[in-house]
Amino acid sequence: SQTIHQWPATLVQPVGSPLSLECTVEGTSNPNLYWYRQAAGRGLQLLFYSVGIGQISSEVPQNLSASRPQDRQFILSSKKLLLSDSGFYLCAWSVGRYEQYFGPGTRLTVT
């Protein structure tokens, strides 16, 4: 069966510091991968999606970037965090275009 991992689970970072969040999927090949952000008490905002290695599409221009160095690995990065980057970051995967399954998430607090 398929499993999705995210780490770290929680992170507290000062403003201006860099960020690297990692997501990996097991048990499937060539998944579509997604990064979402959920601000406190808010909905899900799609940040990036990838349909293959090295293929990244950005939905929201901002100081975040994503990379997919391997088929089942998706990384979210920032060179300098802003206070507004705080939130719950969720990675998701799908095979094909439809059913998406979320990882456990990383709760980021920028101080």
Partner 1 sequence: GENVEQHPSTLSVQEGDSAVIKCTYSDSASNYFPWYKQELGKRPQLIIDIRSNVGEKKDQRIAVTLNKTAKHFSLHITETQPEDSAVYFCAAFSGYALNFGKGTSLLVTP
Query: Which residues of the shown chain bind partner 1 in the complex (CB under 8 A)?
Result: 34, 42-44, 46, 49, 51, 57, 59, 90, 97-105
**Tokens 């601000």 belong to residue:** 39
When the beta carbons of 48 and 85 are compared against partner 1, the nearer one is 48
Strand, coil or helix: 85: helix
When the beta carbons of 80 and 91 are compared against partner 1, the nearer one is 91
Tell me the closest approach of the beta carbon of residue 80 to partner 1, in angstroms: 27
Dig out the tokens for 92 from the structure. 């998701």
Tell me the closest approach of the beta carbon of residue 85 to partner 1, in angstroms: 19
Tell me how far apart the alpha carbons of residues 8 and 80 are, in angstroms, rounded to a whole number.
Answer: 18
When the beta carbons of 14 and 96 are compared against partner 1, the nearer one is 96
Tell me how far apart the alpha carbons of residues 55 and 66 are, in angstroms, rounded to a whole number.
Answer: 10
